[in-house]
Amino acid sequence: MAFTVNDSFNIGTDISFVISDSYGDTFTADDLGDLLSINATFDLHMLKITPITNGGRPLYQAIPNGITGDMEFVRTNGNITSIFTVLYKAFYNEGLLPHFTLSVSVLNKGGQVDEYIFPDMVFHNPDFGLFSGIDEVRQKISFSCPTIESTTNIASILAGVPTTGAISST
């Protein structure tokens, strides 16, 4: 029996990102530690209508309702703790709740790069890590944002769906 290795899929090592805010701050994954994983999930609000006509056949709609995700790092510095220390201070001293933009680049096996932007993003549920024994310290940051944008051509797979205009998060 012959075994063929399929190299047409990503294995998880082909992503990079930059985070920025409206105050001119910019940082990369490397600035936060050794990136272990990043996950983003599309949140959809499901509507289900079960009419008493048409045999009671249910009708479904999936309404876009934001994106949530998280990033996990091995601690190499104190930058994650510093970010949230500054964010807490900005809120309690100035009443500020900064939003961020996450710009992600994904390298495909064919050499093309897909680029995505997660605008108006907020961080939440920071996990500063468990310090114990001889294990690495893993830190996790969760995030949420209202929408996603692509700077690459995404229309080709759904060419018939109208997408005129930009999606606004305001």
**pLDDT tens figures, 7-64:** 555 666 788 999 999 999 999 999 999 999 999 999 999 999 999 999 999 999 999 9
- Give the residue carrying structure tokens 């310290």: 137
Give this prediction's pTM.
0.84
165 pLDDT exceeds 70? Answer: no
- Give the residue carrying structure tokens 């769906």: 161
Q: How far apart are CA 170 and CA 168, in angstroms?
A: 5
Closest CA to 68 of 97, 84, 45, 91: 45
CA dihedral for 31, 69, 89, 130, sign (positive or negative): negative
Closest CA to 148 of 162, 163, 127, 160: 163
**pLDDT tens figures, 49-102:** 999 999 999 999 999 999 999 999 999 999 999 999 999 999 999 999 999 999
The residues spanned by each domain of the chain are 15-154
- Give the residue carrying structure tokens 């759904």: 158
Supply the CATH classification number for the domain 15-154.
Answer: 2.40.30
Q: Are 64 and 42 in contact (CB under 8 A)?
A: yes
In the three-class reduction of DSSP (H, G, I as helix; E, B as strand; rest coil), residue 54 is classed as helix
Closest CA to 108 of 34, 4, 7, 17: 7
Q: What share of the chain is helix, strand, coil (3-state, %, to 5)?
A: 15, 45, 40
Long-range contacts of 91-98 (CB under 8 A, 24+ apart): 97/122, 98/21, 98/22, 98/23
